[in-house]
Amino acid sequence: MTNLIHAHFARLRRAPVFWLAAAVAAGAGLCLEFIQNAWLAILPPACCAVVFSLFFGAEYADGTIRNKLAAGRSRTEIYMSVLAASILVMWLFLALSSPRIILTARHNTYGHYTPGEAALAAAAVMLSSAAVAAVLAALCMLVHRRAVLALALVFLVLGGILLGALVWSEIASYGSSYMLQIDEDALNSVVRNYDADELLRLGLAEWVYVPPGKPPAMLAFAGRLLPVVQALQALDKDTGVPMAWDVPLWSLGEIALTTALGLALFKRKDIR
């Protein structure tokens, strides 16, 4: 199977679309360092979906799969090589687009990550991105029409990101926060004209910690299933949402389930 993975990357290195997509991912990561526009984070996974559809999706049209089967390669080897190559490409795009987030402990309003938390966050993000790659690889091996595959991958990635953002915004609303508490004796017409900084300076107000709430069970379950939310739970401490220790387990479960189902269907697929 190692030879098959090497063959995938040998073809990738000769594909201009791969280098173009890698440049876009790196450009998005560079812009994120200065612009801080969250929507730029959509570009790397979208580029990855395009590369998968144009590269792995061409296996049927080019007759590559038939040639591999004729050379004695098993369907399991073929499927697992595509899965491994997909995950490695996804991690490459992830590293290009977000080196600061993945490789350093991020400082934020709620303090900073300890080395252990930073390592757990990086592992969680890598596993959640691998779960996405597993789904995309399964579709590449099951859908033989390249145009249909390209649309399916792009819409799946963009839809997953938008849905994840909506779910995360709901979960974040239950996170911990700090509320400005003003001294009741100081609530008069004069004090109300002061801004928050002035009230704090005068000792008439203080920040009070509000502990995180517990989101509804269905919302928490949806958050565990969506890779985007899995990654945000590991990375985003600004919202005060505690890092969930079981997020990597959910990602591993999704990878195992998707791979088992995709491989079972690929073994039954009629390859002409």
| Digit-coded pLDDT (tens) for 148-177 | 888 888 888 888 888 888 888 888 887 777
233: in domain: no
Are 54 and 102 within one domain? Answer: yes
Are 95 and 181 within one domain? Answer: no
8: in domain: yes
155: in domain: yes
215: in domain: no
Query: pLDDT of 136-146, one tens digit each?
Result: 889 888 887 77
Q: How many domains is the chain built from?
A: 2
- Beta bridge mates, 107: 112
Q: Which of 179, 144, 152, 169 is nearest to 269 (CA)?
A: 144
Are 69 and 201 within one domain? Answer: no
pLDDT tops 90 at residue 105: no
Are 149 and 16 within one domain? Answer: yes
170: in domain: no
Distance, CA of 200 to CA of 187 (rounded, Å): 14
227: in domain: no
| Sequence-distant contacts of 34-37: CB under 8 A, at least 24 apart | none
Q: What's the pTM value of the predicted model, to 2 decimals? A: 0.80
Identify the domain boundary among 189, 210, 231.
210
Are 109 and 77 within one domain? Answer: yes
45: in domain: yes
Are 110 and 191 within one domain? Answer: no
Are 16 and 114 within one domain? Answer: yes
Are 183 and 124 within one domain? Answer: no
Identify the domain boundary among 190, 210, 230.
210
Are 63 and 190 within one domain? Answer: no
| DSSP 8-state assignment for residue 181 | E
pLDDT tops 60 at residue 106: no
* Average pLDDT of every residue of the chain: 77
Are 11 and 80 within one domain? Answer: yes
Q: Which domain holds residue 183?
A: 177-210
228: in domain: no
Mean pLDDT of 173-197: 64
**pLDDT at 272 (0 to 100):** 64
Are 193 and 98 within one domain? Answer: no
Question: 238, 108 in Cβ contact below 8 A?
Answer: yes
Query: pLDDT of 114-138, one tens digit each?
Result: 666 677 777 888 888 899 899 988 9
Q: Which of 95, 8, 94 is nearest to 52 (CA)?
A: 8
Are 19 and 138 within one domain? Answer: yes
Residue identified by tokens 């590369």 is: 51
